[in-house]
Structure 1
Amino acid sequence: MPCIQTLSAYWARGLCLTPGDFVIYWVGKAATYYGIGAAAAKIVNCILQDARAVMTISGPSEYGVSLSLPRLIGKTGIFHIFMPEFSEAEKEKLDHGAKILGETQAAIIHDGELVG
C-alpha cells in the first residue's frame, strides 16, 4: 500500500493535506480533477444523508450573482448562508467583483438563454 505510506509520511512530518490531496495520492494520479470529483461526491453525500453540513458552495447571493460562501446544506438543499464579516476594504472588493461577474453574465445570458 504505497498510498497509505505516502500519506503517513506526510502526516508524520506534520504536513496538512486537503481532501483533494488525499484523493490524488489515493488514486495514485497527479491530477486535480480527482479532487473535484471527491468534493462533488461529498456534497451529494451530504444532501442524500441530510448531513446538515457547512460547506463552501457556490450559489445565489444578495449580489445577484452566484458566490462561493459557507452554506448549511442538507436534503432540501441550502438551509442557511453564513455571510462572513468583511472589513470595509474587503466589502468594496467583493462589491466590485460581484459587479464584474454581473456584467459578464449580462453580456452572455439574455432571458435565461446563453447568447452566442
Structure 2
Amino acid sequence: MSDQGRIRHPKFETFPVSPSPFSPGVFTAPRAGVYVFAFTVYSSVSARLYHKVQLIWNGTPTAGAFENNREDNEDSATQLVVLQLQKGDQVYVQLTSGRKLCDYLAYNIFTGYMLYPL
C-alpha cells in the first residue's frame, strides 16, 4: 500500500459478539462516551523504509506514528489515544500519501473500546 487513504482491515471481532460499529476501517461511535483507540503499523520493504500513519477523528488528524529508518529491514510503531466522542463521531487510521506499509494486514492493527459512557 503506498497511496494515501484509510487502512482497511478485512476482519473485525467484537467481544462479546454483537453488531460491530466498525465498517471497513472506520469506527462510528454508537453512543457518547470516552473511548480508547490503539493502532500498530508495520513496514517491511527491501529498500528505504518509511511510514506515516495518522488517527483521524471526524476528519481531523489527532495522533500519528512516523518511521523513516534506513538502517534495518523492519519497523513498527504503536499509538494509543483516549477520546471523548459523541454519538456518530468517526475514527479511522490513514496512511499518508507516498508512504508504505507491509501488505500483510495481520501486522497492522486498529482497535478501540468504550472506557465509560457519558
User: What TM-score comes out, normalization by structure 2 length?
Assistant: 0.24
Q: Which structure shows the bigger proportion of residues in strand conformation?
A: 2
Larger radius of gyration: 1
Structure with the higher helix share, 1 or 2: 1
Higher RCO (C-alpha 8 Å, min separation 6): 2
